Structure 1
């Protein structure tokens, strides 16, 4: 098998606070719709902050049989629902494929929520009050395992827990195995449900904004916690052409790094290296980049550092490359973030529209990029970069391109 098989995205599925399914999601972020609302899953009276990107209209019963729901945590429910939407969108018939050559690779930050719920019950009511089904639901590796079990896929199955960069890692891992010929199809992405633990942790770090997320704004006050799942179906280009599939984008490559600079803070050198590595691995020049989907959390430190790294890589070109953050609309969806943003990059490449950074009010001289303020931009997008950074210095950058059928399928 040729080790340089071209890998394309043929299916997209998303569960988000602005819309269920890629069409509703895309329409919402192009319009600059905010999914931020007052927290309702627990009482926030003990906190300074009361807003987050909770998903209010997700009904898992629309995607999963009732008899199976009780064995699944909310994160698995969202992951299976997003995978179901992505598979339907890809029009891939699972009956016609070798299921041992179909893998599942998922990223996460918090894993499954029932673990947190069980600990809460244990502290407040005692261990004997813990629901035994919650124990079954709690293991973090349940995420890819439950997807594989639900769709009866028997290929490689991995959870990648590199937090907020994990979605890109998972996509990259599936890309590698398909490109090498080890597998033929992969369900890749990330998922995290809304977590009181994550909410409390970021609140304690004084990293959360009181009401709105304002990436790259001079007066930005922090991030907001969100939840969601983003899933991509990927396969070799020749398979997609044979099936006459709708191809959203081609994955050219990715870069990953761990600079281990700080437990929670990013470092410009680490980000610079991961972007340069992604460009090298994808065999493209910096002049070819049309759009950057930023990690863009809305904290003072992250946005300043990310912009500094972009300037170091692109020089004066940074002024001409649109760089937007959809976290301004969704909040930070943790392990789902870079996969949902990768999905947005695929749609930007397909539709030639760049989603905005909403809530932008005041320019910051240290973040003087074109952040696509408040309104989407119509622009040809041939190649897009997707940045995702995580605690501990885990950095990732994914590169997707508009499909070019004039090249050899295994070029």
Structure 2
């Protein structure tokens, strides 16, 4: 099997419009969560989120493109351009024919749904724009990335709620590792921060009105975010032959299903995914230095995840650093694993562990080193990225320093 490395990374999220901006914000422990700004926000009980600010789509895309690009597609194309530019790859000939795109999203064009429901039900209009379906469909972003960058190989979208990005990146990794593709563009995006998108999440009663405080005893729930994270996964020998800069290596993954409850997480399902990912990566638990936790800030998720980590890593769990960057950028739902992968890359490349901000008081049920409030310098050779979704669908990636 082929070794797989990451040669390009791109993002836009509440912390920054690029990877350097985002990584700097993570190092500083900066909070990108604030008051939401959109139509009818005053009708919501939840009025905070990790909203992308200062993003002007009109300056990036022409009028024809704007009729086709929902906000989640705009974010994806922005992040993909940064990632592919950094990779230095140009997709022509056989490389283009065999390389593809696998992206994750939970909701797809939620803003387009919201706008057009308003148009029909509130404004009483009988027609919508002819491109509404191509604009809102979950695979729109993947399709536009493939068209924009001439990627003609295996391309599709994965939708598994909060694990969508990790599932997508796992599929891309498997394709490059098996030799099916020399390179894949992968990651995920989400933009649910509109009236309907937030109102739907309000109904679950898992949202915080003030802050996201993962692992802290006084935590009150999750906070939504938006944005995208996109990466270039490439065959190691292909990357080395062309002298590409390598950010890190992807060495394993695993997926599991809780098969138990549609919303309540399972310790056994999460533990199975982590243990199998380590086995796939052929690393021992004591080789892992950092885990980017799913860490949503809900009472159920955080204690369940910590219990699963304790089961899988045993005595080494006390030596592990585990943090949740959702405390800074919010929960990007289907795009969250992709943005959070940047924290793993930062740990491996730069030796900087992103903190869990907003941490106030230890929770006895989350008795791990959660890197509270302040980033930490540390040498890490292996990192793990967790994603545990509603529906009991889990996806874990393992990365190594190169």
Which range, TM-score by smaller chain? Answer: over 0.9
Q: Residue 65 of structure 1: CA displacement?
A: 4.2
The aligned residue for residue 366 of structure 1 is 365
Of 160, 167, 182, the match for 1:184: 182
Question: What is the CA–CA distance in structure 2 between the aligned matches of 1:392 and 1:324, rounded to whole Å?
Answer: 23
Question: What is the CA–CA distance in structure 2 between the aligned matches of 1:313 and 1:164, rounded to whole Å?
Answer: 22
The aligned residue for residue 354 of structure 2 is 355
Contact 1:54 1:194 in 2 (8 A): no
Question: What is the CA–CA distance in structure 2 between the aligned matches of 1:384 and 1:13, rounded to whole Å?
Answer: 19
The aligned residue for residue 40 of structure 1 is 37
CA RMSD after TM alignment? 1.4
The aligned residue for residue 284 of structure 2 is 285
Matches within 5 A, 1:5-404: 5-61=2-58, 63-95=60-92, 98-113=95-110, 114-195=112-193, 196-403=195-402
- CA deviations 1:106-149 (Å, max 9, x no partner) are 00111112123212322212352423333331211112111111
Q: Residue 269 of structure 1: CA displacement?
A: 0.5
Q: Residue 62 of structure 1: CA displacement?
A: 5.1
Q: What SS does the aligned partner of 1:20 have?
A: coil
Return 224-233 or 57-66, whichever deviates more.
Answer: 57-66
Contact 1:310 1:318 in 2 (8 A): yes
Q: What SS does the aligned partner of 2:31 have?
A: coil
- CA deviations 1:224-251 (Å, max 9, x no partner) are 1110100010111111111211111100
Question: What is the CA–CA distance in structure 1 between the aligned matches of 2:100 and 2:133, rounded to whole Å?
Answer: 26
Q: Structure 2 regions of 5+ residues with no counterpart?
A: none
Q: Structure 1 regions of 5+ residues with no counterpart?
A: 404-411
Name the TM-score, length of structure 2 as normaliser.
0.96
Return 107-116 or 265-274, whichever deviates more.
Answer: 107-116
Q: Residue 97 of structure 1: CA displacement?
A: 5.7
The aligned residue for residue 407 of structure 1 is none
Number of equivalences: 400
Distance 1:399 1:231, change over 3 A: same
Name the TM-score, length of structure 1 as normaliser.
0.94
